[in-house]
A and B are shown apart, each in its own frame.
Chain A
Amino acid sequence: MDITWATNLPLKITVARESKDPSRPSDQKIYYTSTKLLSFLPVTVNQTRQFFNREKETPVWFSYQGSAIRWHLPVGLLLDLYNVSTDVWPIEVNFSPVPPEIEDLSMSLLESSFCMSLKEADQIRSRSERINLFQKQDFKRLWNAIQNSSLEEWRSVANQLLRSKNGDFKIPVKFHYDNTYFQNPTEVEDTVQAALEKALAGHQFSPENFKVVLLGTELAADMPLRELSDFSYPDTFLHLVLQRA
Chain B
Amino acid sequence: MSTDFIRENLKKRKQRYDVWLELIEELNAAQNRADKFEEEKTQLEKVLAEESRSSPRESAVSGESDSVRSARISHLEQKCFNLQEELTELLRSKASTAEELSRKKDLVSELDDKLRLLQIENDEKNMKLQNYQNGAENSEEAIRELKRNHQVLLDEHAALQLAYSQLEKQIRAREQIAEYANAEAIAAAKLKDLQKKIDAENLIRDATKGVLPDAKITYTARSSPPIKKINQFEANNGEVFEVKFSPDGAHLATAGEDKCVNIYNVRNPASRIESPVLTLKGANAAITSLSFSKNRRHLLGSSNDQAARVWDLSSGKIVQSLTGHQGPVTTARYLTQSTAVTGSQDRTVRLWDLTKTSCTKTLWPGSKCIDVCNGSMDGSLIMSAHYNKQIHVTDIRASAKDEKQVISLSGRPTGIAVPADFGQSLLALTRNNDLAVIDLRQMQVRITLSDLQNDFRVTADYSRCSLSPCGGLALATGQDGRISCWDVNTGRLLDGANAESAGNLISCDWSSRLVATGSKSKTVVLWSD
Contact = CB atoms under 8 A, between A and B. Distances in A.
Given A7-B10, A7-B14, A32-B28, A217 B5 contact: yes
Contact of A8 (B3, B6, B11, B17): B17
A217 B9 CA distance: 7
A4 B2 CA distance: 16
Interface string A194-236: 0000000000000000000011110110010001101100000
Contacts of A42: none
Contact of B20 (A88, A214, A227): A88
A4 B24 contact: no
A88 B104 CA distance: 14
B2 A215 contact: no
Given A9-B17, A10-B17, A33 B24 contact: yes
A6 B18 CA distance: 10
B7 interface: yes
B400 interface: no
A133 interface: no
B9 A216 contact: yes
A77 to B, nearest CB: 14
B14 A10 contact: no
Contacts of B24: 10, 32-34
Contacts of A9: 17
Contact of B21 (A10, A216, A223, A227): A10
B16 interface: yes
Contacts of B361: none
Given A7-B13, A32-B27, A216-B13, A231 B6 contact: yes
Given A3-B10, A32-B27, A217-B9, A230 B17 contact: no
B1 interface: yes
B526 to A, nearest CB: 110
A227 B3 CA distance: 7
A87 interface: yes
Contacts of A230: 3
Nearest to A228: B3
A169 to B, nearest CB: 18
Interface in A40-71: none
Nearest to B1: A220
A6 B21 contact: no
A119 B249 CA distance: 132
Nearest to A88: B20
Interface in A1-20: 3-4, 6-10
B406 interface: no
Contacts of A223: 1-2
Contacts of A220: 1
Contacts of B16: 87
A151 to B, nearest CB: 14
A228 B4 CA distance: 10
B10 A216 contact: yes
A230 B16 CA distance: 22
B10 to A, nearest CB: 5
Nearest to B7: A3
A3 B11 contact: yes
A215 B21 contact: no
A6 B1 contact: no
B17 A215 contact: no
Interface in A85-114: 87-88
A87 B7 contact: no
14 contacts: A3-B11, A8-B17, A32-B28, A33-B28, A87-B13, A87-B16, A87-B20, A88-B20, A214-B6, A215-B6, A217-B9, A217-B10, A227-B2, A230-B3
Q: Which 10 A-B pairs have the closest CB atoms?
A: A10-B20, A32-B24, A220-B1, A7-B14, A217-B9, A217-B6, A87-B16, A3-B10, A227-B3, A34-B21
Given A9-B17, A87-B13, A219-B6, 20 more contacts: A3-B7, A7-B13, A7-B14, A8-B21, A10-B20, A10-B21, A10-B24, A32-B27, A33-B24, A34-B17, A87-B16, A87-B17, A88-B20, A216-B9, A216-B10, A216-B13, A217-B10, A219-B1, A228-B3, A230-B3
